[in-house]
Structure 1
Amino acid sequence: MKKTHYRTLWLSDIHLGNKDCKAEYLLSFLNNISVDTLYLVGDIIDMWQMTKQFRWPKAHNQIMHKFMQMSEQGTRIVYLPGNHDEPIQSYSGMVFGDIEIEREIIHTTAKGERYLVLHGDQFDGDVTLGRFQAWIGDKGYDLLLFLNREYNRFRAWRKREYWSLAGYIKKHIKGANAAIARYRKACCQRAKDLQLDGVVCGHIHHPESTIEDGVHYINDGDWIENCSALAEDMRGNLTLIHYLEHVEQSKITTLEVGSKTSKAA
Structure 2
Amino acid sequence: MKKRKIEVSVISDVHLGTYGSHADELIAYLNSIQPKILILNGDIIDIWQFSKRYFPTSHLKVLKKILGMAANGVEVYYITGNHDEMLRKFAETTLGNIHIVNKLALELDGKKAWFFHGDVFDVSIQKAKWLAKLGGYGYSLLILLNNGINWVNTKMKKEKFSLSKKIKNNVKGAIKFISDFEKTAAELAIDNEFDYVVCGHIHQPKKTYFENKKGNCIYLNSGDWVENLTALEYNFKRWKIYHYKHDKLSPFFADEDIKKMNLQELISSAIQKTNPPSA
The two structures have a TM-score, normalised by structure 2, of: 0.81
Q: Which residue of 1 aligns with 2:89?
A: 90
Secondary structure of the structure 2 residue equivalent to 1:171: helix
Structure 1 unaligned residues grouped into runs of 5+: 252-265
Q: Which residue of 1 aligns with 2:229?
A: 227
Q: How has the CA–CA distance of structure 1 residues 181 and 127 changed in structure 2, closer, same or farther, with 3 Å as cutoff?
A: farther
Q: Which residue of 2 aligns with 1:210?
A: 208
Q: CA deviation at 1:132?
A: 7.2
- Give the Cα separation in 2 of the matches to 1:73 and 1:87: 27
Q: Which residue of 2 aligns with 1:116?
A: 114
Moved more, 130-139 or 6-15: 130-139
Q: Which residue of 2 aligns with 1:244?
A: 245
- Give the Cα separation in 2 of the matches to 1:117 and 1:228: 16
Secondary structure of the structure 2 residue equivalent to 1:48: coil
Which residue of the other structure, out of 198, 201, 217, is the alignment partner of 2:199? 201
Q: Which residue of 2 aligns with 1:69?
A: 68
Q: CA deviation at 1:136?
A: 6.4
- Give the Cα separation in 2 of the matches to 1:122 and 1:46: 17
Comparing both chains, which one has the higher relative contact order based on Cα–Cα distances under 8 Å and sequence gaps of 6 or more? Answer: 2
- Give the Cα separation in 1 of the matches to 2:85 and 2:124: 19
The two structures have a TM-score, normalised by structure 1, of: 0.85
User: What amino acid is aligned across from residue 100 of structure 2 in structure 1?
Assistant: I
1:17 and 1:45 in contact (8 A); partners too: yes
Q: Which residue of 1 aligns with 2:151?
A: 153
Moved more, 174-183 or 140-149: 140-149
Q: What is the aligned residue count?
A: 247
Q: How has the CA–CA distance of structure 1 residues 151 and 33 changed in structure 2, closer, same or farther, with 3 Å as cutoff?
A: same
Q: Which residue of 1 aligns with 2:254?
A: none
Moved more, 199-208 or 93-102: 93-102
- Give the Cα separation in 1 of the matches to 2:171 and 2:138: 11
1:126 and 1:182 in contact (8 A); partners too: no
- Give the Cα separation in 2 of the matches to 1:127 and 1:186: 16
Q: How has the CA–CA distance of structure 1 residues 237 and 88 changed in structure 2, closer, same or farther, with 3 Å as cutoff?
A: same
Q: How has the CA–CA distance of structure 1 residues 126 and 21 changed in structure 2, closer, same or farther, with 3 Å as cutoff?
A: closer
Q: CA deviation at 1:221?
A: 0.3
Moved more, 134-143 or 221-230: 134-143
User: What amino acid is aligned across from residue 200 of structure 2 in structure 1?
Assistant: G
Q: How has the CA–CA distance of structure 1 residues 36 and 159 changed in structure 2, closer, same or farther, with 3 Å as cutoff?
A: farther
1:10 and 1:230 in contact (8 A); partners too: yes
Q: How has the CA–CA distance of structure 1 residues 127 and 48 changed in structure 2, closer, same or farther, with 3 Å as cutoff?
A: closer
- Give the Cα separation in 1 of the matches to 2:76 and 2:58: 20
1:126 and 1:186 in contact (8 A); partners too: no
Q: Which residue of 2 aligns with 1:256?
A: none
What are the Cα deviations for residues 30-77 of structure 1, in whole angstroms up to 9, with x where unaligned? 1111110000000000001115x6411111111111001111111100
1:231 and 1:238 in contact (8 A); partners too: yes
